[in-house]
Amino acid sequence: MKIEQSIKETIQSGVSDLVCFCHLRWDFVYQRPQHIMSRMAKTFRVFFIEEPLFHDGADDISISLSGENVWIVTPVLQHGHEDQNSVHSRQRKLLDRLFVKRNIENFIAWYYTPMALKFTNHLKPRLTIYDCMDELSAFKFAPAELKLLETELFGCAGLVFTGGHSLYQAKKNSHHNIYPFPSSIDKDHFAVGRVNDQDPIDQKDISGFRLGFYGVIDERFNIGLIEEVARLRPDWQLILLGPVVKINDEDLPRRENIHYLGSKTYKELPMYLSGWDMAIIPFEKNESTKYISPTKTPEYLAAGKPVISSSIMDVVTPYADKGLVYIADNAQEFIAAAENEINKDARAYQEWLSEVDKFLIDVSWDNTTRNMMERIQLAISELSEKKEGFRSVA
């Protein structure tokens, strides 16, 4: 089924809205939810429901329209009633108010977090989708009831996507209609990293061999590996971009050749990438990284940067298996991989880059969204046929 036909049939089915419940804020780090919802907004009226904020005034909803035509909805609750039952009850009331005010009736409910069921289980969507992008229960500070709510979400979802193949293998027996959709890329955006020659102001004075990372710096980040590499190779420069979350800032390694440049916008990333010699994915090997599929892997490659990664399953297969990235789980392996790249000549680099481009030729968020749309239309059609069958029997 072509995407144009799929979109047409979805619209003809009467589904005009998509309501997305997410544990990540829209303007935090531009990743999977933003990429997919921005593209879904070309077909649906998309409402992106964030977790609540608290203030001194009465309960209210903040609504704004993003540049991608997505409605960002943030519940703003009054301080002083932060017990969970109260919070969920008040979120439910605000959500109902939103549905009436914006005339949301025939809609798809799209979940990134099962925790949202606490205030949405009264809704009657045309289709419920669970886009399981991570094993959230393994993350630091994960709520104890998350797994139970995920089981409930599997029970009410008509369609499930996973953020990678390893997560699909772990979840495939939990639902009858589940499909893997690994991390993808906007190739044109990151290809700028191959040609840009303007170093950002906070990076331009960092001289020497540069190894860079961007992303959230949290409990998944192997700070011990970074410190050891920096200690053993003081002539190398490690550049780290992104917010520090769920770990103490004072626990981060501090050396003259480790540079924390803070958060950068999605638009800025290719400019920083272009000035790196290699890109890195230095994650710990623990429960929180067991099933992740780092979006930065294909993004780094699209920018033409050789990559060193920990042995994350969804990086090993397919990227390392195809010889596109180096795998290193300790400082010695990491340094050996980097030195191997340093010793490559221009011809070897071009041969590698050619293989990268062959691999990435059909990898894009546009294609991912097209394939998701086909699954959505099929799921809606199947649910409609079931309802018609029930009517016939009655």
For 95-126, write each residue's pLDDT tens digit. Answer: 999 999 999 999 999 999 999 999 999 999 99
Give the range among 65-79, 186-200, 343-357, 377-391 with minimum mean pLDDT. Answer: 377-391
What's the pLDDT at 3?
47
Count other Cβ atoms within 10 Å, centred on residue 62.
Answer: 12
For the segment 125-147, what is each residue's pLDDT rounded down to a tens digit? 999 999 999 887 777 667 888 99
In this chain, the answer to whether the domains covering 3-184+364-393 and 187-360 adopt an identical fold is yes
Percent of the chain residues past pLDDT 70, beyond the cut: 93
What's the pLDDT at 389?
53
What is the number of alpha carbons within 13 Å of residue 282 lying toward its C-beta?
28
Judge whether residue 8 has pLDDT over 60: no
What's the pLDDT at 248?
86
**Domain range 3-184+364-393, CATH class:** alpha beta
pLDDT, the chain, mean: 91
Look at phi and psi of residue 248 and say left if phi exceeds 0, alpha if psi is from -120 to 50, else beta. Answer: beta
Domain ranges in the chain are 3-184+364-393, 187-360
Judge whether residue 393 has pLDDT over 50: no
For the segment 37-79, what is each residue's pLDDT rounded down to a tens digit? 999 999 999 999 999 999 999 999 999 999 999 999 999 999 8
Topology of domain 187-360, CATH: Rossmann fold (3.40.50)
For the segment 220-265, what is each residue's pLDDT rounded down to a tens digit? 999 999 999 999 999 999 999 999 998 888 889 999 999 999 999 9
Rounded CA Rg of the chain: 22
Beta strand 159-162 pairing with 178-180: parallel
Q: Over range 352-370, report the average pLDDT.
A: 96
Judge whether residue 375 has pLDDT over 50: yes
pTM (2 d.p.): 0.90
